[in-house]
């Protein structure tokens, strides 16, 4: 339990920074909504000039863009990108920071098992993400009610916002797996940015082709915002795909970590 609280305290500054950053981003975008809703026809003519593949890639849907939920989907694509970086950053640093700071051998001489250590670190990262999402969701709901021009479904707004949390969990799991497999990660941020942007652009290009199967390549495409708005539900097959990735990545992390040689300073 001491490890959990120690890690949670270590993530405190990072959690605050990410929470404030996401809140500022959504506040900036939502402040634009009244202007978009007021001049909907003019903006629609402008956006019709863009190819449909590009509109789909950036989460722009002409059918519902000028509703509060449809408009929210546009900044959400960038917000999930930021959230994924947070998740990947947390996951990648879980084990690698002990190696980088040369404290791994000291930690493992304590009367705790390796599964206990890894579980405590994972739980601290998980709680950090939960705190970020609670703050973000609360502010988003308040802003949506402040700028709305028509009634909207609060349930759908929450579901759309939760897509960031699900994507964060996937990248958290991938980051943990990478941190235990790679012997020494010199720069966590570099690895996180490279991995997240690689998947983001893979998702971007898969959207331009329109092939459904290619959506499985990138976690960013597991949650179709237009589908969520229309059906008020997630696509089960992609939820399963995301869960499988998380389970396999975490299982692989425990397997490797339990057998990994920890070099003494």
- Chain mean pLDDT for the chain: 84
pLDDT of residue 131: 96
How far apart, in whole angstroms, are the C-alpha atoms of residue 4 and residue 20?
A: 23
Mean predicted confidence (pLDDT) in 103-128 = 77
Tokens of 241: 């795909």
Among 59, 30, 21, which residue's Cα sits nearest to residue 140?
30
Q: Are 86 and 18 in contact (CB under 8 A)?
A: yes
Tell me the per-residue pLDDT of 41-68, one tens digit each, with 9 for 90 and over: 666 666 666 666 666 656 566 667 678 8
Among 236, 235, 238, which residue's Cα sits nearest to residue 219?
238
How is residue 1 annotated by DSSP?
A: -
Residue 102 has pLDDT above 60, yes or no: no
Among 180, 132, 128, which residue's Cα sits nearest to residue 4?
128
Q: Are 89 and 21 in contact (CB under 8 A)?
A: no
Q: How confident is the model at residue 127 (pLDDT cuts 50, 70, 90)?
A: very high
- Residue 158 backbone phi and psi in degrees, to 5: -65, -40
User: Which residues, at least 6 apart from 103, have a Cβ–Cβ distance to it below 8 Å?
Assistant: none
DSSP 191-247: HHHHHHHHHHHHHHHHHHHT-GGGGGG-GGGSS-HHHHHHHSS--HHHHHHHHHHHH
pLDDT of residue 94: 83
Tell me the per-residue pLDDT of 186-217, one tens digit each, with 9 for 90 and over: 788 888 899 999 998 888 777 666 677 778 88
Higher confidence at residue 83 or residue 260? 83
Mean predicted confidence (pLDDT) in 138-153 = 90
How far apart, in whole angstroms, are the C-alpha atoms of residue 261 and residue 248?
A: 21
pLDDT of residue 10: 87
Residue 105 has pLDDT above 60, yes or no: no
What is the model's pTM? Answer: 0.88
Cα torsion 81, 83, 87, 89: sign:
positive
How is residue 62 annotated by DSSP?
A: T
How far apart, in whole angstroms, are the C-alpha atoms of residue 88 and residue 172?
A: 5
Residue 263 has pLDDT above 60, yes or no: no
């Amino acid at each position: 339990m001491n490890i959990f609280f120690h890690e949670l305290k270590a993530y405190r500054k990072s959690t605050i920074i990410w929470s404030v950053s996401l809140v500022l981003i959504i506040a900036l975008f939502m402040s634009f909504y009244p202007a978009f809703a007021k001049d909907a026809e003019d903006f629609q003519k402008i956006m019709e000039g863009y190819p449909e593949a590009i509109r789909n890639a950036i989460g722009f849907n002409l059918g519902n863009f000028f509703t509060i939920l449809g408009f929210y989907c546009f900044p959400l694509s960038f917000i999930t990108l930021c959230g994924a970086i947070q998740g990947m950053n947390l996951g990648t640093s879980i084990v690698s920071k002990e190696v980088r700071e040369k404290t791994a051998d000291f930690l493992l001489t304590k009367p705790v098992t390796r599964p206990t250590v890894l579980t405590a670190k994972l739980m601290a990262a998980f709680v950090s993400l939960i705190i970020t999402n609670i703050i973000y969701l609360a502010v988003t709901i308040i802003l949506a009610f402040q700028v709305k021009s028509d009634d909207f479904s609060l349930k759908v707004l929450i579901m759309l916002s939760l897509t960031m949390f699900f994507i964060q969990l996937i990248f958290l799991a991938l980051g943990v797996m990478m941190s235990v497999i790679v012997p020494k990660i010199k720069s966590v941020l570099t690895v996180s940015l490279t991995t997240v942007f690689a998947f983001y652009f893979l998702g971007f290009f898969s959207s331009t082709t329109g092939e459904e199967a290619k959506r499985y390549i990138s976690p960013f495409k597991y949650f179709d915002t237009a589908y969520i708005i229309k059906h008020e539900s997630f696509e089960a097959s992609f939820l399963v795909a995301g869960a499988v990735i998380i389970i396999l990545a975490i299982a692989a992390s425990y397997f490797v970590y339990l057998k990994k040689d920890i070099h003494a300073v």
